[in-house]
Amino acid sequence: MQIKKSIRAYILVFLSTLIVLSVSVTAYLAIDSIVIGGKNAEQITSEALQSQAEKLLTQLTVTSAEHNDMILENVRLDAGTVATYAQNIFENSETFARGTYWKFDDHIFMGARGQYLNGMDDVSSVFIPNYVNIDDVREEMELNAYLDYVFPKILENNPDAVAIWMLGLQGEGRYYPNIGLGNILPPDVNLTKDIFFAPATPENNPERNITWSILYDDPAGQGLMITATAPIYTQQNGFVGVIGIDVALGGIIKNIEEYNPIELSHSFLIDGQGYSIALPEHVYEEILGKTREQNESRVNLNNLSNDFSSVVEKMREGSTGFMYMARGNEEHYVAYAPLKNAGFSLCTIIEKESLLSVIDDLHQEVADSTQNMIYGRILPFGILVTLLSLVIGFVILNKKFRPLKKLIDASKELSEGSFDVQADVTSDDEIGQLASSFNKMAQNLKIQQENLEKTILERTGELQQKIGELEKYKKLTVDRELKMVELKNRIKEVEGKIH
């Protein structure tokens, strides 16, 4: 029993040592790799750091520019879609059954100043200048009323768009949402001379592209705006009008002024002429070196006398790039990228120290993450693996030693003379083979014992027979000796009598 315990103890100690050693070596290698990786991250050279900062800031600026440009791109595509829809209406007037949806005479009336307009119950506002012959536009206005089906959906899909309209060749128009346009505009105004219509005409836009107007301040007080205009052409009449979508830039301006992808970074936006669109106060002071004047909105950035002049020049060219500027005791990283739709350009500025501090924070996060990984994951996991391995090893050893214990108990019974004992054979491994050999040995010993007992019985019988014969022989010999003594005694007696 003591030997069994010693063997199992030795195996357990060996197994435990092996497991602990393996887990320790693995944990050491993992920890060493993490620590080395963290140190390598901290040993980035200043040149590489600046290169990474350049790529990071440039990519963030490009991403922001593309995000805001997508707002304008969606508007541009929708303007083209509505222009195609209007073309289909005018080219297929019979299909649309002119006058069945919106009858001109039921909706149009003359205003107080001689202009023609509609009521506020209609989906969109109608305006027809007082110099227009009403019969010349009657059919057109009944057909373009079908645009009321798509106008609301377009504004719904473009949150930055504030209005969508169609303008015909004589200045007649339809405008959504209905703001009573006929009562707002002068009765004789000719909108075809306006900045929204002229860029789409055949002489100014022979390629029939969807174009953007110049920036303007909304008369209704919605701030800085821009309009996407798409020309309408039909096979019968050629150029027949323009679809326009007015976009308020307030949302984009807010996005730019509040955009700080890295803490303490700032952005500004300019148009293709170098005038500011979005210019936060901090950037204004940084570029111009002064405080913004009251009510000063758009600022001309073309005549700067500092390093930013070269940045503005690159931005006006529509370039994407990065610049490093040193101004007094401060050093700046500057990245710029275009908004291709309307010819705008976005610029992001950050002080070098601020960007490097972010990277220093990143290094600290790497170090903290390394420690957390070591003490929070690797070591607990290693301990858990060790304990599980020991438990599993103990269970396996007990399972393996159970038949061995039974074999030892059987051998004790055998040593005490119980030759009928048999060990359980539960496996084909070495212990199972040992149990089989034990059973064969016990069987052989039993046979030998039985043979020995038989032989002893036979030998005992033979010996008893010989002892009996010896007893008989001894008795005969004794009797003969007694008779000889008696005879000798008689002879002596005879001889005594003779003498």
Give the structural domain span for 95: 69-248
Domain annotation covers residue 151? yes
pTM of this structure = 0.63
| 3-state helix, strand and coil shares in percent for the chain, rounded to the nearest 5 | 55, 15, 25
What is the DSSP secondary-structure string of 252-265?
HHHHHHH--SSTT-
Of the candidates 419, 407, 456, 461, the residue with the CA atom closest to the CA atom of residue 4: 407
Structure tokens at 249: 């830039």
Q: How far apart are CA 180 and CA 87, in angstroms?
A: 26
- The 8-class DSSP code of residue 275 comes to B
Q: Which pLDDT does position 98 carry in this prediction? A: 65
Closest to 88 in 3D by CA, of 234, 257, 250? 234
Does any domain span residue 3?
no
pLDDT in tens, 85-117: 999 999 988 887 766 789 999 999 988 888 889
Q: For 478, how many CA atoms within 13 A lie in the half-sphere containing its CB? A: 6
pLDDT given at position 4: 43
**Cβ atoms of residues 344 and 270 within 8 Å:** yes
CA dist 110 and 129 (Å) reads: 10
Considering the domain boundaries, does residue 417 fall inside one? Answer: no
Please, what is the angle between helix 352-373 and helix 2-42, to 10°? 180
Distance CA 396, CA 87 (A): 84
pLDDT digits (tens, 9 = 90+) for 358-383: 555 555 565 666 666 666 666 676 67
| Number of domains making up the chain | 1
- Distance of alpha carbon 487 from the chain centroid: 134
CATH code where residue 143 lies: 3.30.450.20
State residue 37's pLDDT score: 57
Classified as helix, coil or strand, 222 is: coil
Locate 465 and state its tokens. 């027979």
Please give the order of strands across the beta sheet that includes 330-339: 276-278, 266-270, 344-351, 330-339, 321-327
Judge whether 467 lies within some domain.
no
Q: Could you tell me if residue 242 is inside a domain?
A: yes
Residue 85 has, within 13 A of its CA and on its CB side, a CA count of 17
User: Angle 389-393-398 (CA atoms, 0-180°, nearest 5)?
Assistant: 155
pLDDT at 3: 42
Ramachandran sector of residue 43 (left: φ over 0; alpha: ψ -120 to 50; beta: rest): alpha
If one counts every other C-beta atom within 10 angstroms of the C-beta of residue 324, the result is 13
Which residues, at least 6 apart from 116, have a Cβ–Cβ distance to it below 8 Å? 108, 109, 110, 126, 127, 128, 130, 132, 134, 182
**Residue 266 token pair:** 């700032």
Cβ atoms within 10 A of the Cβ of 440, count? Answer: 10
Looking at residue 357, what is its pLDDT?
62
What's residue 101's pLDDT? Answer: 85
pLDDT less than 70: residues of the chain: 1-16, 18-50, 98-99, 327-328, 354-379, 381-382, 384-386, 389-390, 393-402, 404-407, 410, 413-414, 416-417, 419, 421, 423-426, 430, 442, 445, 452-453, 499
Nearest Cα neighbor of 317 from 273, 365, 379 is 273
C-alpha Rg value of the chain to the nearest Å: 56
- Ramachandran region, residue 289 (left: φ > 0; alpha: ψ -120 to 50; beta: rest): left
Task: Let me know: does 328 contact 309? Beta carbons within 8 Å.
Answer: no
Instruction: Note whether residue 164 is domain-resident.
Output: yes
Query: Nearest-5° angle of CA 68, CA 69, CA 70?
Result: 90
Residue 157 placed within a domain: yes
